[in-house]
């Protein structure tokens, strides 16, 4: 088995061969690769509900924004839940920023509804408030993860559910990505949102889902994945593992499905969950996709002198600069 894992990078190089002759050719050549990834993870899942509409509940106002809770049924008994912040004194439409929490988190925590506000609320570094200051409408959807066990709204055994879903052609990853897709469909209908200009950032598990969602949904113009990207062979956790994973789509190939759109991979030098050495060793493979297209400025591997936390220095400016015109 270890020999097969050692051979996996060479097999990925043979499998993942997009056309680097131009950005347009690259985009076209990644269509079948994106479809292959979607098949592997079971996206979209079976039994989805089309035609449902989001429900918005006004919650509060603060110095930055008017705040809503948003819910949308996407399968029988399965809802997208999230919090939406509309900046005050908004003139016209604003770009959308998806702010994705990690394991043990939730939209309330990432948006400073709870926790230690003096220190930026846990390890999210005022992600939402900085987005509002940068001129974004911010949406923080809730995803439930199988690790951590701290989620106040935690449901069934997620590992067991993942196994059951894989037996019927989908997965936790495929289901949660579909929740993001349908939620985004609805949020983009808001009159305050410029539906052609969308960014996403997330920490930890949120960084994982930022990578995967930007890979499968080309509406994401620019993404910031914090404290997830790594040498995936070292961290083959069950809920982001799928058939033939290492031979086809490790982290650099997932990044390659985002290219030629913009991406920051952010890694903490003192991260005690995902070792920075694996990220540093793997980053050149991801960067190569943009370099071969002459678009080096659209990919950034950023390290920072912190731990497992969202840093975001220059991230908001990067996202805004890489939104569609």
Domains and CATH numbers, the chain: 21-321 (3.40.50.1820)
User: What pLDDT, in 10s, does the model give residues 272-284?
Assistant: 999 999 999 999 9
User: What pLDDT, in 10s, does the model give residues 195-234?
Assistant: 999 999 999 999 999 999 999 999 999 999 999 999 998 9
Cβ atoms of 278 and 230 closer than 8 Å: yes
Q: Is the pLDDT of residue 31 over 90?
A: yes
Which pLDDT score, from 0 to 100, does residue 120 have? 44
Please name the residue ranges forming H helices in the chain: 2-15, 23-41, 107-110, 127-133, 158-167, 172-187, 205-216, 245-248, 251-258, 276-292, 315-321
Which pLDDT score, from 0 to 100, does residue 114 have? 62
pLDDT mean across residues, the chain: 92
Mutual angle of helices 23-41 and 251-258, in 10-degree steps: 130
Q: Is the pLDDT of residue 151 over 80?
A: no
Distance CA 97, CA 138 (A): 5
pLDDT (mean) for 127-147: 90
| Closest to 142 (Cα-Cα) out of 128, 130, 154 | 154
Distance of CA 194 to the CA centre of its chain: 19
CB count within 10 Å of CB 219 equals 18
| Closest to 44 (Cα-Cα) out of 210, 180, 238 | 180
Per the DSSP assignment, residues forming a β-bridge with 206 are none
Q: Is the pLDDT of residue 295 over 60?
A: yes
The secondary structure of residue 90, as a DSSP letter, is -
pLDDT (mean) for 11-15: 94
Distances from the Cα of 81 to the Cα of 28, 30, 141, 173, 228, angstroms: 33, 31, 6, 17, 23
Distance CA 176, CA 159 (A): 14
Report the phi/psi class of residue 83: left, alpha or beta, with left for phi > 0 and alpha for psi in -120 to 50: beta
Q: Is the pLDDT of residue 150 over 90?
A: no
Distance CA 181, CA 169 (A): 18
- DSSP track, 205-258: HHHHHHHHHHHH-TT--EEEEES--S-GGG---GGG--TTHHHH--HHHHHHHH
């Amino acid at each position: 088995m270890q020999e097969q894992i050692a051979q996996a990078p060479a097999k990925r190089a043979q499998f993942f061969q997009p056309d680097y002759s131009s950005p347009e050719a690259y985009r076209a050549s990644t269509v079948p690769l994106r479809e292959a990834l979607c098949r592997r993870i079971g996206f979209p899942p079976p039994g989805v509900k089309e035609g449902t509409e989001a429900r918005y509940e006004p919650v509060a106002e603060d110095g930055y924004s008017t705040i809503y809770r948003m819910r949308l049924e996407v399968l029988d008994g399965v809802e997208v839940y999230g919090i939406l912040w509309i900046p005050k004194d908004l003139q016209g439409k604003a770009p959308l920023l998806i702010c994705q929490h990690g394991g043990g988190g939730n939209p309330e925590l990432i948006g400073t509804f709870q926790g230690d506000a003096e220190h930026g609320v846990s390890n999210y570094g005022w992600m939402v408030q900085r987005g509002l200051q940068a001129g974004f409408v911010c949406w923080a959807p809730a995803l439930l993860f199988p690790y951590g066990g701290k989620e106040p709204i935690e449901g069934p055994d997620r590992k067991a559910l993942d196994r059951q879903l894989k037996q019927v052609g989908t997965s936790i990853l495929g289901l949660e990505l579909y929740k993001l897709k349908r939620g985004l469909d609805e949020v983009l209908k808001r009159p305050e949102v410029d539906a052609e200009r969308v960014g996403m950032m997330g920490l930890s598990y949120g960084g994982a889902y930022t990578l995967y969602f930007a890979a499968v949904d080309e509406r994401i113009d620019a993404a910031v994945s914090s404290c997830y990207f790594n040498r995936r062979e070292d961290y083959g956790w069950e809920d982001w593992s799928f058939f033939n994973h290492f031979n086809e789509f490790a982290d650099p190939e997932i990044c390659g499905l985002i290219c030629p759109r913009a991406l920051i991979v952010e890694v903490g030098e003192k991260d005690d969950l995902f070792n920075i050495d694996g990220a540093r060793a793997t980053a050149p493979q991801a960067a190569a996709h943009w370099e071969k297209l002459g678009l080096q400025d659209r990919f950034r591997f950023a390290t920072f002198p912190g731990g497992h936390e969202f840093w975001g220095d220059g991230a908001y400016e990067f996202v805004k600069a890489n939104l569609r015109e």
